[in-house]
Each structure stands twice: as structure tokens, then as C-alpha cells.
């Protein structure tokens, strides 16, 4: 069925009412989730009315409604994309077979791991972003971070549904653990590296939603063709919501760049490497923006796992996790004898080597991610053209600043040259923001809560959310 039961405590289109055991399990998890949300979710503003989008259906048209909601009362639901009649598996050993509706027993452990890792990132990002509401540069931006947060909460629900429905007691335990780990906690950290980094300021948030949410898109796209249909359908619907998160990031950075360009023009600054002159006028200088790109891009690349991975080969072979846009790729979708070019360290240099394609699944997904990021860079660089400023921002080399995979043990510059550890550390602040840079960004984080007004370091957006006018009160901060 695809109609959404909206009257239920947990809105859903999975006919929850007909599965009393599952319904009880999810209803028992619900208060624990709310408790987590209230303690680890957005700090402050929990009792305020926020203009939010809520998913109410799964059709491409009219799947969401907008309205004022207090965040703890948000209707987090379980929504799966409609089942495609007769869908067959498009890759791996089981290519051509009918997709599985039940959990395939032999792949239980692999699937549990994929679902838990995916699930863990969702609450992690909410925890990372919890203090941002207090320093929002506008009510528009404040609403956007809350929108992202409630939807990440819903994505957690999506994974918890799979755990509770298909993985029995283990699944219930994993669902509890998802609420116990904490981003950045020394004893109980979140599973993947980037989800333990702090997001203390809005430039970091916009970079995170540009790059790290884009990893989310790539990973969800890879799961969206899974041979296990419940996972495929769940992730497909999650992708519907993901687009807005990346939009928030891309346009957020774009607006920061625009404001910096305006400051340059207003003050006759022509040198794009100028730092103090921009900071004097309260803007974020372009070298610092580049350094933030370098950081978030490299930390996000780590999320793709090792370039050469037997884990990834196994889950592809088992028809559980495919590649980006798998059905559209022009090959046999089994890759038993194919090769793929992978960046490797050879003779002290980064070189491209042809390796068995099955082992290079992570590297290929990272390539697709990099292509997508290049498009974002083009959008950002257009702002310079509009302001007739000769400058461009760029992605650092894929081997730069890596902690996972092939380049974890070498020291690589932003241009891809391997250097000594000492040289790298001596030059680190050429590529990554220094404490002084980060303190400067933090010093700009003063809240602006007047409807229609924006902090001085960021331009207004081109359009309002859901067509709302410029002075719309996205969060009802006035009593
Ligand atoms: N940090 O063969 P390897 C999102 C571990 S984001 C720490 O290299 P594999 C979102 C790995 O677990 C998308 N550990 O990697 C965005 C393994 O350990 P075990 C989230 C790491 O398995 C914004 C070992 O290293 N979804 O949705 O091929 C806001 C060797 O593994 C890391 C997914 O990631 C790391 N960065 O690939 C909100 C999809 N990387 O198990 C949400 C599900 C690797 O041997 N996950 N390790 O002890 C996967 O597909 C894979 O697990 C990974 C890793 C792509 C993450």
C-alpha cells in the first residue's frame, strides 16, 4: 500500500496497524526518541513554532505540506517509496532474480551493518548541528537548519523501522544503541569519522550540507537499487528529502561568497587573496572559504571507505549495494572480469592504476561524488563572474588530508604532491583554516532574528521557502 496513515501515532504507509508486534516495538522506541530529540536535538527553540515541511505522501507530486509546527510535535513517519511490481535485481550475483521482500538470511550480517551505519549518521548530524539555531544569520536560515534536523530525524526512523521489522532482538538492540552513541563523545562516538567533527558555525554547516549530505545522496543512491526491496524503497524516499539539504548547503556558501564579492566591490578591494580588508568589513575572506572547502571535502571523502575494499566488493556481489545510478551504467553489472582506474600511491607518487572493478566500488562512487562536487564549484565560481572578479575556488586533490584508505599514511598537498610529514605540518595552514581563522568565523556568529534581515556576512536568498515573501517569520520568535 502507499496511502499514508496520518492518524496513527507514527504516520506510515507500511500498514503498521496490521503488525501489532512491530507497532508495539516502535511505540516503545518513540518516547526514547523524543527524549533524545529534546536533549540532543536543537538547543533552544523547541517550544517555538517553525515553518516546516512534513512528508505526507510518497507521490512525486504533493508529497509534502508546509506549516507551523513545534519541533517535538513534528510528525516523524515511516514512508517507503511505492513498490514497483515485478522489479528485478539489476546487479551482482543475483542479477535478474526477483527482488527480495524478506530479509535474505545469508546476508543478514552485511545488511544489518549497512543499515546501522546509515542509521547512525542521521542522529549524529542532528547532534553536530544542535547549537546552530542560537546563532542563525536569519530566521530563513534558522528554519532551514531545523528542517534539515527534523528530516534527519525521520531518516533515523526509516532505518529503525528496518531494524525493528526485520532483525528481531538484534534490531531492537541496535535501535536502542542508535540513541546512545553521541557525536564527538570519547567513549561512545558515532561510527564514521566525519560525524564526530564539530559543526560550531554556519559556514561549517553550509559546507557539511554541501559535501557530507552529498555523500548521503551517493550512498543512498547506491542502496536505492538494493536487491533487498525494503531497503531500496526506504532509501528512495529518503532521497526525496535529501535534495533540499544539499540546496541549503550549496546556496548557503553561494550567499557567503556573494556577500564577500559585494564587500570587495563596495570597498574597492580587487585582490581576492585579501584577508584583513574583508574581515574589517565583517565578511568571510575567500582564502578561508577555500580552506573550509579543503577540510569538508577531504573529511567527506573518507566516508567512502577504502578505495580498494573487499567489504564493498562483497556487498555489490551479494546484490545489496550497487553503484551510483546502477541501472543506467553500460556494462554487465557483475564486473567479474572488469577493471577500473583507481588512484594509488606508487613509487612515492599518486598514480592511476587499473584494478579489478569489483574491489574498486568505493573508489568509483567517490569519483561520482567528485564529479557532482565539481558542478557545485562551477555554480560557486559563477558568483565571481557575475561580480567581474577574477578568481575561482577549487576542490583539493582527492589524496589531500585523508584518514581512511590508500592515502591515510601519506602526507599530500592540496595539489596532490606527496611531501614529508614535517613539511605537511609546516604548511598545513596554507590549506586548512587555522585557529585564528576559525575564531574569526566564530566571532561573526551573532544571531539575527528580525524577519527579513540577514547577518552582514551573508547575502539574502534569491527566493523564500515555499514562495514565502522576504520578511516572512519562518520561526515565530516574537511572542
Ligand atoms: N570512519 O572496506 P572499508 C548520510 C571502517 S552519509 C570510520 O574501507 P567499506 C548523511 C569500516 O566500517 C552516508 N570507520 O569500507 C549525511 C570498516 O570497519 P569494519 C551514510 C570507517 O565497508 C549527512 C573498515 O573501516 N551511509 O547519509 O567498503 C547528514 C574497512 O572498511 C570509515 C553510508 O555510509 C570512516 N569514515 O565502506 C546525515 C552507507 N570508513 O566494519 C546523513 C552505508 C570505513 O571492518 N555504509 N570505515 O570494522 C557503507 O556502505 C560502508 O560501510 C562505508 C564504508 C561506505 C561507510
Give tens-digit pLDDT for 48-74. Answer: 999 999 988 877 777 889 999 999 999
pLDDT digits (tens, 9 = 90+) for 183-232: 999 999 999 989 999 899 999 999 999 999 999 999 999 999 999 999 99
Look-up: residue for cell 581576492?
A: 272
Q: Which atom of ligand 1 is nearest to the CA of 306?
A: 8
Nearest-CA residue for atom 9 of ligand 1:
305
Task: List the grid coordinates of 324.
Answer: 551510483
Mean per-residue pLDDT, 28-56: 95
What is the Å distance from ligand 1's center to 217 Cα?
A: 14
- Which of 433, 425, 401, 429 lies closest to 414, judged by CA? 401
Instruction: Please check whether residue 124 is in contact with residue 435, taking contact to mean a CB–CB distance below 8 angstroms.
Output: no
- Verify whether ligand 1 is closer than 6 Å to residue 210 (CB atom): no
- Greater confidence (476 vs 240) lies with 476
Give the residue, by CA position, lying nearest to ligand 1 atom 11. Answer: 305
pLDDT score, position 177: 98
Q: How far is the CA of 298 from the centre of ligand 1 (A)?
A: 15
Question: Is the distance from the beta carbon of residue 305 to the nearest atom of ligand 1 less than 6 Å?
Answer: yes
pLDDT digits (tens, 9 = 90+) for 125-161: 999 999 999 999 999 999 999 999 999 999 999 999 9
Which of 122, 235, 298, 305 should be mutated for ligand 1, with most atoms under 8 A from CB? 305
Residue 122 Cα distances to 159, 243, 335, 456, angstroms? 9, 15, 32, 31
Least confident interval from 28-32, 55-59, 276-280, 387-391: 55-59
CA of 119 to the centre of ligand 1 (A): 11
- Tell whether the model's pLDDT for residue 448 goes beyond 70: yes
| Distance between Cα 313 and ligand 1 center (Å) | 14
Residue 87, exposed/middle/buried by CB under 10 A (0-12, 13-18, 19+)? middle
Q: How far is the centre of ligand 1, averaged over its atoms, from the C-alpha of 338 (Å)?
A: 24
Stronger pLDDT, 477 or 260, i.e. the higher one: 260
CA–centroid distance, residue 194 to ligand 1 (Å): 10
Give the DSSP H/E element, type plus range, for residue 99. none
Res 383 pLDDT > 90: yes
Q: β-strand 339-346 against 349-356: which pairing, if any? A: antiparallel
Long-range contacts of 418-421 (CB under 8 A, 24+ apart): 418/345, 418/348, 418/349, 418/350
pLDDT at residue number 339: 97
Query: Distance between CA atoms of 190 and 183, rounded to whole angstroms?
Result: 5
Model confidence, pTM:
0.96
List Cβ neighbours of 82 (8 Å cut-off, separation of 6 or more): 2, 58, 233
Q: Measured at the alpha carbon of residue 81, what is the angle toward residues 78 and 87, in degrees to the nearest 5?
A: 135
Confidence check: pLDDT of 2 > 60: no
CB 313 near ligand 1, within 6 Å:
no
Q: Is the CB of 152 under 6 A from ligand 1?
A: yes
Return the ligand 1 atom nearest residue 194 CA: 36
Map grid coordinates 524577519 to a residue: 451
Tell me how far the alpha carbon of residue 79 lies from the centroid of ligand 1, in angstroms: 24
Å from CA of 289 to ligand 1 middle: 27
* DSSP string computed for 161-220: HHHHHHSHHHHHHHHHHHTT--TT-SSS--SSGGGGS---SHHHHHHIIIIIHHHHHHHH
* Pocket mutation for ligand 1, best pick of 120, 192, 197, 366 (most atoms within 8 Å of C-beta): 192
The CA-atom distances, in angstroms, between 96 and each of 86, 91, 93, 289 are 11, 8, 9, 47
The predicted structure's pLDDT at residue 1 = 43
Amino acid at each position: 500500500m502507499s496511502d499514508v496513515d496520518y492518524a496513527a501515532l507514527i504516520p506510515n504507509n507500511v500498514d503498521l496497524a496490521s503488525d501489532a508486534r512491530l507497532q508495539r516495538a516502535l511505540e516503545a522506541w518513540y518516547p526514547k526518541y523524543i527524549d533524545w530529540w529534546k536533549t540532543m536535538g536543537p538547543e533552544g527553540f523547541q517550544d517555538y513554532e517553525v515553518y516546516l515541511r512534513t512528508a505526507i505522501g510518497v507521490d512525486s507530486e504533493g508529497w509534502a505540506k508546509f506549516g507551523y509546527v513545534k519541533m517535538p510535535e513534528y510528525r516523524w513517519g515511516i514512508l517507503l517509496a511505492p513498490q514497483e511490481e515485478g522489479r528485478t535485481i539489476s546487479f551482482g550475483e543475483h542479477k535478474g532474480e526477483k527482488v527480495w521482500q524478506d530479509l535474505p538470511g545469508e546476508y543478514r550480517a552485511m545488511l544489518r551493518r549497512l543499515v546501522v551505519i546509515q542509521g547512525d549518521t542521521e542522529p549524529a548530524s542532528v547532534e553536530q548541528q544542535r547549537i546552530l539555531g542560537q546563532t542563525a544569520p536569519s530566521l530563513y536560515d534558522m528554519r532551514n537548519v531545523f528542517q534539515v534536523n527534523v528530516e534527519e530525524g525521520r531518516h533515523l526512523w526509516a532505518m529503525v523501522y528496518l531494524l525493528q521489522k526485520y532483525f528481531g532482538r538484534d534490531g531492537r538492540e541496535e535501535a536502542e544503541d542508535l540513541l546512545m552513541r553521541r557525536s564527538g563523545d570519547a567513549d561512545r562516538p558515532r561510527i564514521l569519522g566525519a560525524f564526530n567533527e564539530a559543526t560550531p558555525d554556519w559556514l561549517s554547516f553550509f559546507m557539511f550540507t554541501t559535501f557530507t549530505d552529498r555523500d548521503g545522496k551517493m550512498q543512498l543512491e547506491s542502496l536505492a537499487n538494493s536487491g533487498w526491496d525494503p531497503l531500496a524503497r526506504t532509501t528512495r524516499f529518503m532521497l526525496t528529502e535529501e535534495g533540499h539539504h544539499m540546496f541549503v548547503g550549496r546556496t548557503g556558501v553561494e550567499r557567503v561568497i556573494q556577500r564577500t564579492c559585494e564587500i570587495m566591490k563596495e570597498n574597492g578591494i580587487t585582490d581576492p587573496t585579501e584577508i584583513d580588508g574583508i574581515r574589517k568589513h565583517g565578511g568571510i575572506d575567500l582564502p578561508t572559504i577555500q580552506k573550509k572547502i579543503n577540510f569538508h571535502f577531504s573529511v567527506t571523502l573518507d566516508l567512502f571507505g577504502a578505495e580498494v575494499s573487499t567489504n564493498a566488493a562483497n556487498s555489490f556481489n551479494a546484490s545489496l549495494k550497487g553503484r551510483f545510478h546502477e541501472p543506467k551504467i553500460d556494462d554487465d553489472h557483475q564486473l567479474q572480469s572488469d577493471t577500473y582506474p583507481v588512484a594509488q600511491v606508487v613509487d612515492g607518487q599518486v598514480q592511476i592504476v587499473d584494478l579489478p572493478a569489483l574491489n574498486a566500488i568505493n573508489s568509483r562512487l567517490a569519483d561520482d561524488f567528485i564529479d557532482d562536487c565539481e558542478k557545485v564549484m562551477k555554480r560557486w565560481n559563477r558568483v565571481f563572474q557575475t561580480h567581474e572578479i577574477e578568481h575561482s575556488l577549487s576542490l583539493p586533490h582527492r589524496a589531500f588530508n585523508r584518514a581512511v584508505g590508500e592515502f591515510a599514511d601519506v602526507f599530500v598537498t592540496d595539489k596532490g604532491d606527496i611531501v614529508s610529514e614535517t613539511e605537511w605540518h609546516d604548511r598545513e595552514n596554507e590549506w586548512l583554516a587555522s585557529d585564528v581563522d576559525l575564531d574569526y568565523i566564530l566571532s561573526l556568529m551573532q544571531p539575527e532574528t528580525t524577519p527579513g534581515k540577514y547577518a552582514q556576512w551573508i547575502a539574502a536568498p534569491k527566493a523564500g521557502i515555499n514562495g514565502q515573501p522576504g520578511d516572512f517569520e519562518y520561526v515565530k520568535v516574537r511572542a
